[in-house]
Structure 1
Amino acid sequence: MNLCKPSRLPRAAAVALGIALSVLVAACGGPSGSSGGSDDGLVPVTHQLGWIASTQSIGEIVAVEKGFFREEGLDVAIELGGPNIDGVALVASGRADVGQVSSSPSLLLAAAQGIPVRAIAVGAQQHPYGYVSMPGSRLDTPDDLRGRKIGATSTGFVLINALLEANGIPRDEVEIVTTGTEITPLLTGQVDAYGAWRSNASWLRQLPEGYGFIGLWENGVQLYPLPYYATEKMIKENPELLQKFVRGLARGWRFAHDNPEEAVDILVRAYPNLNREDEAEGLAALMPYAFTEATDTGGWGAMSDDIWQRQIDLLAKVDAFGGKPAPDIDSVRDNSILDATGDAR
């Protein structure tokens, strides 16, 4: 399992920092959706997920199955991610037209490396990631972490460091230990807290009732979940294609919000390996993070420059960029596709 799995923040450091320089050269080539078309006149678009299919990608799955993309003239093929698939590299190299990652640090780190990808929309407005603890030793606030042992994968260290920094807790007051990616160390008392998405029902169900949860978003680490992104070249040369993609995507997410039971049925029909009960519970937990006052104001997919800048500034304080200068906001996001689709989102 990797941090980009639904029970984790995605491979924030590994995704971006592991992209080879050859990707930069390959990114100069044209994306697959830039020319040609299918026999029925639809424009083919390859959409690369950061992880396997789940409620995190329900918007695009619904949009495919309900025909929302087809109504925009697009034939969207969803490519699943996984622990050995570097989605950012695939999009940056032009092998996929657009992508989704689980969390915004992947794109921030890519920008710091000079990888030419930009966020064009976000699937949810607030991140449901945080640190869970057992009922008998509940941790409910960042201050409760003092003197405790926190388990994290190596790529998750940046998140606990960011949480400590945002709350004025000295790093030496918390013991951070490298663990695997299963819940066992928490269940057996080897650590006092461990990271999870609040929408990962199958993972959280293993915990006894009454567990504690310290959310990142509520405690000063305001990351964006599920950002959608494309290359700078794609945004410049194929804006109409991306506008059509975002319009179909927005309809898919709205449908899932308004018709959760049917949306879960669509999801598990498309991917029969998924457990319907888990996905229904996960979707119910995710939707309050996906649709907030920000979506009421700016529509689905809206992004705030203030939130992006806060992320950049906080990650810079904990040296998340590996000694490289923090990226400027224009190298991280591009609002042009959202601006052009405001009436449809």
Structure 2
Amino acid sequence: MVLTRRAMLTGGSLAIAGLVGCGEEKEKANSGAVDDVTYVTGFNITGQDSFVFAAIEHGWYRDAGLTVKVVPGVGTRGNLQRLKEGNAQFAVIDLTGGLLEINTGTFTDFRVFAAIYQSTVSCIVALPAANIHAPADLAGKRIGYSEGGVNKTIFPAYAQLAGLDESTVRWVALPPPSIRAALVAGQLDAATEIVVGRPAVEAAAKQRVTMLPYSDVVRDLYGNALGASTDLIRNNPGLVRRFRDATLRGLRWTIDNPDEAGRIMARHNPTYRAEVAAAEVRETVTYVRGNAPHVGHLDEARTNRCIALIQGIGLIKPGLTPDRVAAFDLAPQT
């Protein structure tokens, strides 16, 4: 289990910790002390994760007094388990998936604090041979998914709003690294994916693919966000801010410099092709920027609308409030 020295300190209450000013945090970051943290990606390590490697290579984490170990994620539920067990300090959490986990009571001791994507990037992908062009075409099809992945978790909302009978889908559970390979090999008709993963899927399949984005029918849902345990947020908000700022700096730089970001990704992950990573970065730009005033923006009113939408189709019980899923006091202001 990877622990940080500061991350596990039990300082004062959240209110007291909130009094720590930016100047004091900079002093800590520049004191020469370094905090080792583990960051879990959303799902595997793909081109969309180039921004964290950019922040590492450019020294922005070092400047913040951090060294960051990047490990591949396994979807929202698995990532939340890692936070709960203390095996990671920060993880990518799909905000909608997080709400559904809170609703069931499985995972409740976490909060997101900065949005990566301003809208959901969940989708279903299929090769041309499957003859899938619309949600109705998924009836009777074999769809690969990973247990705990948000694409499967929120599929009922997508199906309901798209007019598809979810019970007609034949789900095939697979480990995260196996899903794309199984799709390309023809062992599946379709698979859960992210829309920004199109270049990597097409590179593996060597042909164009069909994607059915959830955002076409499920409106106003945030996508991935940066998350941490409530203990870390309560006891060490300064560490969260330092990680947040360095990470978002990497994200801003990456969407402005996709080709160089792709090369950085390939240097840190030699099996990944730089041009594929760069193409994936370009796919993320509209999702990162959205209509938000700045990168990472997390809005309480919009989060409330997300909750209302999911509650309206019966996926969560009444009473869940935005502060149960997000630490808005730690959300970036610029």
Give yes or no for TM over 0.5. Answer: yes
* CA–CA distance in structure 2, aligned partners of residues 160 and 177 of structure 1: 11
| Matched residue, 1:124 | 117
Inter-CA distance 210–89: structure 2 relative to 1 (3 Å threshold): closer
For the 8 Å contact 2:262–2:275, the answer to whether it is kept is no
* CA–CA distance in structure 1, aligned partners of residues 49 and 185 of structure 2: 32
State the shift of 1:252 in Å. Answer: 0.6
Q: Deviations over 1:27-66 (max 9, x none)?
A: xx9834778x899623404132144433332222211211
| Matched residue, 1:261 | 259
Inter-CA distance 57–38: structure 2 relative to 1 (3 Å threshold): same
* CA–CA distance in structure 1, aligned partners of residues 322 and 124 of structure 2: 28
Q: Deviations over 1:212-235 (max 9, x none)?
A: 321111211654333111222322
| Matched residue, 2:79 | 87
Amino acid at match of 1:80: V
| Matched residue, 1:236 | 234
* CA–CA distance in structure 1, aligned partners of residues 59 and 10 of structure 2: 21
| Matched residue, 2:172 | 178
| Matched residue, 1:23 | none
State the shift of 1:150 in Å. Answer: 4.6
Q: Deviations over 1:230-261 (max 9, x none)?
A: 22232233223222222211211111111122
| Matched residue, 2:68 | 77
TM-score by length of 1: 0.72
Aligned length: 304
| Matched residue, 2:161 | 166
Q: Of residues 280, 285, 288 in structure 1, which corresponds to 2:286?
A: 288
Amino acid at match of 1:108: L
- Is 1:133 aligned to 2:130, yes or no? no
**Correspondence list, 1:36-51, <5 A:** 41-50=32-41, 51=43
Gaps of 5+ in 2: 12-27
* CA–CA distance in structure 1, aligned partners of residues 236 and 173 of structure 2: 43
* CA–CA distance in structure 2, aligned partners of residues 308 and 154 of structure 1: 26
For the 8 Å contact 2:183–2:189, the answer to whether it is kept is yes
Identical-pair percentage: 20
For the 8 Å contact 2:46–2:277, the answer to whether it is kept is yes
For the 8 Å contact 1:135–1:208, the answer to whether it is kept is no
State the shift of 1:282 in Å. Answer: 1.8
Amino acid at match of 1:141: A
| Matched residue, 1:151 | 143
For the 8 Å contact 1:56–1:226, the answer to whether it is kept is no
> What root-mean-square deviation, in Å, do the aligned CA atoms of Structure 1 and Structure 2 show?
3.6
Inter-CA distance 187–149: structure 2 relative to 1 (3 Å threshold): same
State the shift of 1:186 in Å. Answer: 5.4
- Is 1:100 aligned to 2:92, yes or no? yes
* CA–CA distance in structure 1, aligned partners of residues 101 and 158 of structure 2: 21
Amino acid at match of 2:141: K
Q: Deviations over 1:258-293 (max 9, x none)?
A: 112222222222232322232122222222322222
Q: Deviations over 1:315-335 (max 9, x none)?
A: 5567767xx877432111111
For the 8 Å contact 1:63–1:69, the answer to whether it is kept is yes
State the shift of 1:301 in Å. Answer: 0.8
* CA–CA distance in structure 2, aligned partners of residues 189 and 268 of structure 1: 28
TM-score by length of 2: 0.75
For the 8 Å contact 2:289–2:295, the answer to whether it is kept is yes
For the 8 Å contact 1:150–1:193, the answer to whether it is kept is yes
For the 8 Å contact 1:48–1:87, the answer to whether it is kept is no
Is the partner of 1:132 in helix, strand or coil? strand
| Matched residue, 1:213 | 211
Inter-CA distance 178–310: structure 2 relative to 1 (3 Å threshold): farther
Amino acid at match of 2:298: M
- Is 1:195 aligned to 2:192, yes or no? yes
* CA–CA distance in structure 1, aligned partners of residues 186 and 243 of structure 2: 46
Inter-CA distance 310–191: structure 2 relative to 1 (3 Å threshold): farther
Inter-CA distance 183–47: structure 2 relative to 1 (3 Å threshold): closer
For the 8 Å contact 1:133–1:193, the answer to whether it is kept is yes
- Is 1:58 aligned to 2:58, yes or no? no
Amino acid at match of 1:238: N
| Matched residue, 1:277 | 275
